[in-house]
Chain A
Amino acid sequence: MTDPAPVDVLIIGSGAAGAAFAWSMADTKMNILCLEQGDWVKADDYPGVGMDWEERQFGDFGLSPNQRGRREDYPVNDSESPIHASMFNAVGGSTILYAAHFPRLHPSDFRVRTLDGVADDWPLDYRRLEPYYDINARMMGVSGLAGDPAYPPKELPLPPLPLGVLGERLADGFNRLGWHWWPSDSAIASQDYEGRAGCVNAGTCLVGCPQGAKASTDVTYWPLALRAGVRLQTRCRVREITLRDDGMADGVIYYDADGVERHQRAEVVVLACNGIGTPRLLLNSKSKQFPDGLANRSGLVGKRLMFHPYALVRGIFPEPLEGYKGATGCCIISQEFYETDAARGFVRGYSFEMLRGMGTVFTALSGMGSGHIESGAHHHDSYERLWDRTAGMVAICEDLPEERNCITLDPELKDSDGIPAPKVNYRLSDNSQKMLAHCVERGKEVLAAAGATDFLVEAPLGVAGWHLMGTARMGTDPRTSVVNEWGRCHDVKNLFVIDGSIFVTSGGVNPTNTIQALALYIADTMKQNLANLFD
């Protein structure tokens, strides 16, 4: 079988970053191809259209690729991490499962060394990314409310999602304490938008949105990118990036949908496989020129993994809250504890993201786990005390980069194509542990102010390895960073990284809006520099 014809730009991964980048590059009319190991998810395939939607979170729509074990998933050895990897492999990537809570980083997040003397400043700032956040808001269809005092002014195209009984109750708790809160910026269309139907408050977001209201990139960027001529090939899993003799990337070797090995040549290779998949590919692309993995002369590929340690704090309330209604993770945010306050005993800070209540099955299972629900004669009484009476939040703690927290290649574990699987080594820092302890106490305090009488806590939240950052960091110095300030590898000048791997620090907010703003910014910078892209 012959190898496919060479392309100008080859993108690997069709998730949040790959889709935004592909759409932006489409207007160059170059020959652009994206290879994606997963497939399209059809609206009818989503669990939310069936009564078993909660149960399927333990099966084919589980958060962990290890649990799902589909052909398109690769296993991740996360046995040496208290936080386990969560992701999805499909057109749209992990945005298929994400909660679509869509805050931006703050201006201070780009200057942590200057402001707080920790980690490093980014080689770009908030103002540089701001126009790309704005484009992304329009392209993804972000709902929210202008005027949040925690941010510089920003315009969002859609009004906020409803707070509901539960949201108002929690808002009241924050108001009683005089703490900041605001309706969340949400990548969910609160009303019909650009051909997408508005949210119907069905609450199944974490197993996908059959309505198309949630901005997974298969329903936002991809239809436009494809119409503009970008090609997307599904069920194609890339094994390694190949090199020319002059040290420039030559293309990739991948396995197509039938498992046949192919060599796709390209002028430019762009990695968008997320903070685990990207270092995995680089580390698996060894050569004489790069014996420790491609673009790894700094030794930092795979290192400085940041997750955002999460605390889950739920309160039990005396009366029903209609918590099964509404987008799962998009209600209100609080950034009362976002900025550093030395008196707290840790640096940097966190956001609180309010969660809706649990469905009927999750109420039972989590109550079983916490001991609040018993089996037997008193089952229904104990269930009634919990059902529709829980509300709470996750705290998203800033994770500071440390080299010991890393992705390597597992010496034994492999995916279904025989490609080495990634291994996660991760430990919580003292700073993170202090921050987690703080947010658990503050979480309980605000829930109590809102009327909660009992609490359910998990910190760190084990399943919350869904923000994958830092494993191919950007910077201006090739000795201490993998890519430059616009995503180009210092060591291989036609190889770009555009996903969360390039984050310098993590901030204390969900990363996807920033991942996409960066992808759009990198695409724009490439377009402006086409004539001397590899200089």
Chain B
Amino acid sequence: MDAEYTLSDERRATLAVVLDLLIPPDTARGLPGAGEVCVDAIEATLRSKPMFRLTVEPGLDWFGNREPGTGNDALAALQNEMPAFVPTLVFLTYSAYYQQPRVVEALGVEGRPPHPRGYAMEPSDLDALLSKVRARGRMYR
């Protein structure tokens, strides 16, 4: 762990662009793009887990130097040229994005940790549901 590690401004800007390629904003669903909500989280992961820097930094530099088109074309070019970079970044991005309170709320779950409040659940009518099973009688030997 290298407590001082930060991404340069250029790499941060490139990261935001690439993240939006992976998970673009979707206003209809109320979902931000990953570029808006994941840059800090991914920088923090690179700080705490230096092994990810080995694939992420060269990928960002390659992309930053070339700007290879837009949308899925850019993603395809990146995948072609830097095959280790994309799956690593997808893993980091999905992990970071889907724990953002704004994202979780847009998916219909309260944007808070599961504990301590948990979730309410209704009891089932077990007598009705189990009547067939009970009617079978003893099954063990």
Partner of B140, one of A49, A106, A183, A387: A106
Known: A108-B141, A168-B124, A364-B94. A375 touches B101 (CB 8 A): no
Is B126 an interface position by the 8 A CB rule? Answer: yes
Known: A54-B99, A162-B124, A324-B119. A365 touches B94 (CB 8 A): yes
What residues of chain A lie closer than 8 Å to B126, measured between beta carbons?
A: 145, 160, 163, 183
Q: CA separation between A324 and B114, bound complex, in Å?
A: 10
Partner of A52, one of B90, B91, B99, B118: B99
Nearest CB of B to A35, in Å: 31
- 1/0 per residue, CB under 8 A from A, across B2-45: the answer is 00000000000000000001111010010100000000000000
A interface, by DSSP: helix, strand, loop or mixed?
loop
Stretch at the interface among A147-155, A298-306, A407-415, A490-498: A147-155
Q: CA separation between A204 and B104, bound complex, in Å?
A: 16
Is B98 an interface position by the 8 A CB rule? Answer: yes
Is A361 an interface position by the 8 A CB rule? Answer: yes
Q: Is there contact, CB below 8 Å, between B24 and A377?
A: yes
Stretch at the interface among A173-181, A254-262, A288-296, A431-439: A173-181
Q: Is there contact, CB below 8 Å, between A326 and B114?
A: no
Q: CA separation between A149 and B121, bound complex, in Å?
A: 26
What residues of chain B lie closer than 8 Å to A118, measured between beta carbons?
A: none
Q: CA separation between A58 and B100, bound complex, in Å?
A: 18
Name the interface residues of B97-141: CB closer than 8 Å to any CB of A: 97-101, 103-104, 107-109, 112-124, 126, 129-130, 132-134, 136-141
Is B68 an interface position by the 8 A CB rule? Answer: no
Q: CA separation between A152 and B114, bound complex, in Å?
A: 37
Q: CA separation between A368 and B97, bound complex, in Å?
A: 14
Is B82 an interface position by the 8 A CB rule? Answer: no
Q: CA separation between A260 and B76, bound complex, in Å?
A: 56
Q: CA separation between A147 and B140, bound complex, in Å?
A: 12
Q: CA separation between A50 and B75, bound complex, in Å?
A: 32
Q: Is there contact, CB below 8 Å, between A149 and B90?
A: no
Known: A360-B109, A365-B94, A388-B108. A48 touches B141 (CB 8 A): no
Name the interface residues of A304-360: CB closer than 8 Å to any CB of B: 320, 322, 324-326, 335, 338-339, 359-360
Q: Is there contact, CB below 8 Å, between A203 and B133?
A: no
What residues of chain A lie closer than 8 Å to B26, measured between beta carbons?
A: 380
Q: CA separation between A387 and B106, bound complex, in Å?
A: 12
What residues of chain B lie closer than 8 Å to A108, measured between beta carbons?
A: 140-141
What residues of chain B lie closer than 8 Å to A325, measured between beta carbons?
A: 119, 121
Q: CA separation between A199 and B113, bound complex, in Å?
A: 15
Most A CB within 10 A of own CB, among B91, B114, B116, B140: B114
Q: Is there contact, CB below 8 Å, between B124 and A211?
A: no
Is B72 an interface position by the 8 A CB rule? Answer: yes
Is B83 an interface position by the 8 A CB rule? Answer: no
Q: CA separation between A356 and B110, bound complex, in Å?
A: 18
Q: CA separation between A163 and B125, bound complex, in Å?
A: 10
Known: A107-B141, A339-B141. A201 touches B118 (CB 8 A): yes
What residues of chain A lie closer than 8 Å to B58, measured between beta carbons?
A: none
What residues of chain A lie closer than 8 Å to B118, measured between beta carbons?
A: 199-202, 211
Q: Is there contact, CB below 8 Å, between B114 and A150?
A: no
Is B50 an interface position by the 8 A CB rule? Answer: no
Partner of B95, one of A320, A365, A376: A365
Is A27 an interface position by the 8 A CB rule? Answer: no
Q: Is there contact, CB below 8 Å, between B141 and A326?
A: no
Q: CA separation between A200 and B112, bound complex, in Å?
A: 14
What residues of chain A lie closer than 8 Å to B113, measured between beta carbons?
A: 48-51, 53
Known: A204-B114, A368-B94. A149 touches B136 (CB 8 A): yes
Write the chain B residue with the least CB distance to A208.
Answer: B115
Is A363 an interface position by the 8 A CB rule? Answer: yes
Partner of B129, one of A48, A168, A202: A168
Known: A168-B124, A171-B129, A182-B130. A211 touches B115 (CB 8 A): yes
What residues of chain A lie closer than 8 Å to B115, measured between beta carbons?
A: 46, 48-49, 200, 202, 204, 210-211
What residues of chain A lie closer than 8 Å to B86, measured between beta carbons?
A: 375
What residues of chain B lie closer than 8 Å to A360, measured between beta carbons?
A: 98-99, 103-104, 107, 109
What residues of chain B lie closer than 8 Å to A427, measured between beta carbons?
A: none
Write the chain A residue with the least CB distance to B49.
Answer: A59
Nearest CB of B to A151, in Å: 6
Is A135 an interface position by the 8 A CB rule? Answer: no
Q: CA separation between A149 and B94, bound complex, in Å?
A: 44
The 6 closest A-B pairs by CB, nearest first: A200-B118, A202-B114, A364-B94, A202-B118, A360-B98, A162-B121
List 12 interface pairs A-B (beta carbons < 8 Å), by A numbering. Answer: A48-B113, A49-B116, A51-B100, A55-B96, A115-B141, A162-B121, A164-B121, A168-B129, A202-B115, A368-B91, A380-B24, A380-B31
A residues sitting closer than 8 Å to B (CB atoms) are 46, 48-55, 58, 106-108, 115, 145, 147, 149-152, 160, 162-164, 167-168, 171-172, 174-175, 178, 180-183, 199-204, 210-211, 320, 322, 324-326, 335, 338-339, 359-361, 363-365, 368, 375-377, 379-380, 384, 387-388
